[in-house]
Amino acid sequence: MSIHRKNVLGAVFLAILGLLPLFLNSYWVDVLNSIGIYAILGLSLNLIVGHSGLFNLGHAAFYAVGAYTAAILNTHFHIPVLWLLPLCALTAGLFALVIARPIIHLRGDYLCIVTIGIGEIVRIALINNIFGITGGANGIFGISRPSILGLTLRTPTHFFYLILVFTLLTIFLFHLLEYSRFGRALNFLREDAVAAEGSGINTAHYKLAAFVLGAAWAGMVGNIYAAKMTIISPESFTFWESVLMFAIVILGGSGSIFGVLLGAALIVGLPELFREFASARMLVFGAAMVAMMIFRTQGILPPRPRSYDLFETVEGERKA
The residue among 149 and 310 lying less far from other proteins, judged by its C-beta, is 310
d(CA 189, CA 205): 11
| Residues from 88 through 107 that contact other proteins (CB under 8 A) | 102-103, 105-107
**Per-position b or e across 150-179, b if 16+ CB within 10 A of its CB:** eeebeebbbbbebbbebbeebbeebeebbe
The residue among 132 and 312 lying less far from other proteins, judged by its C-beta, is 312
Cβ contact 59:218 at 8 Å: yes
Residue 294 sits in the site that holds other proteins (CB under 8 A): yes
Closest contact distance (angstroms) between CB of 21 and other proteins is 29
Closest contact distance (angstroms) between CB of 103 and other proteins is 6
d(CA 65, CA 121): 12
Residue of the chain from 35, 70, 96, 118 that contacts other proteins (CB under 8 A): 118
The residue among 119 and 156 lying less far from other proteins, judged by its C-beta, is 119
Contact pattern from residue 265 through residue 284 relative to other proteins, giving x for each residue in contact according to CB under 8 A and a dash for the rest: --------------xx-xx-
Cβ neighbors of 183 (< 8 A, separation 6 or more) are 51, 177
Decide: helix, strand or coil at residue 152.
Answer: strand
| Residues from 199 through 238 that contact other proteins (CB under 8 A) | 199-204, 209, 213
Phi, psi of 232 (to 5 degrees): -135, 150
Q: Which residues face 148 on adjacent strands? A: 151
Cβ contact 69:224 at 8 Å: no
Closest contact distance (angstroms) between CB of 204 and other proteins is 8
Closest contact distance (angstroms) between CB of 2 and other proteins is 16
Residue of the chain from 43, 112, 262, 268 that contacts other proteins (CB under 8 A): 112
The residue among 14 and 293 lying less far from other proteins, judged by its C-beta, is 293
Q: Which residues face 161 on adjacent strands? A: none
Residue 138 sits in the site that holds other proteins (CB under 8 A): no
Closest contact distance (angstroms) between CB of 296 and other proteins is 11
Which of these ranges, 15-23, 72-80, 257-265, 300-308, lies near other proteins under the rule CB under 8 A?
A: 300-308
Residue 308 sits in the site that holds other proteins (CB under 8 A): yes
2: part of which helix (H) or strand (E)? helix 2-23
d(CA 9, CA 315): 29
Residue 108 sits in the site that holds other proteins (CB under 8 A): yes
Closest contact distance (angstroms) between CB of 301 and other proteins is 15
Closest contact distance (angstroms) between CB of 208 and other proteins is 11
| Residues from 28 through 57 that contact other proteins (CB under 8 A) | 53, 55, 57
Cα–Cα distances (Å) from 105 to 2, 14, 55, 93, 265, in that order, read: 43, 41, 12, 18, 33
Residue 259 sits in the site that holds other proteins (CB under 8 A): no
Opening angle at CA 235, ends 256 and 253, nearest 5: 10
Residue 304 sits in the site that holds other proteins (CB under 8 A): no
Contact pattern from residue 161 through residue 200 relative to other proteins, giving x for each residue in contact according to CB under 8 A and a dash for the rest: ------------xx-xx-xxxxxxx-xx--xxxxxxxxxx
- Per the rule left: phi > 0, alpha: psi between -120 and 50, beta: everything else, 268 is alpha
The residue among 227 and 248 lying less far from other proteins, judged by its C-beta, is 248
